[in-house]
Amino acid sequence: MIKKDIAEIKNYKVYYVDVESMMKKRGISKNSLCRMTGIAYNALQRYCKSEIKRVDLDVISRICEALNCEIGDIIKYLPNSK
């Protein structure tokens, strides 16, 4: 039963975090964004490289507030290539 459930979600949609493009659009550096949000540089670096496994909505909210954007502007959908 569990293997069947895993097989059913095998082709799930993939989302990724794209903070850097919005930072470039707004002309805000990583150091500035860290100061504005209180997020540690290493943590922000992981968000910028989309190396996070679990999104912290508090962090995303602070980033969106600082960049004056919506969540959909920094969390993107990557269609799977079948």
**How is the chain split into domains, by residue range?**
12-78
CB atoms within 10 A of CB 56: 13
Whether pLDDT at 30 is above 50:
yes
Rounded to the nearest integer, the mean pLDDT of the chain is 86
Distance CA 55, CA 40 (A): 15
Mean pLDDT to the nearest integer, 49-62? 92
User: How far apart are the C-alpha atoms of 35 and 32, rounded to whole Å?
Assistant: 5
CATH class for the region spanning 12-78: mainly alpha
Instruction: Tell if the pTM clears 0.75, that is, is over it.
Output: yes
In this structure, what token pair is assigned to residue 64?
């969106």
42 or 13, higher pLDDT: 42
81 three-state secondary structure: coil
pLDDT of res. 80: 65
Q: What is the pLDDT of residue 40?
A: 96
How many CA atoms does the CB half-sphere of 53 hold within 13 Å?
0
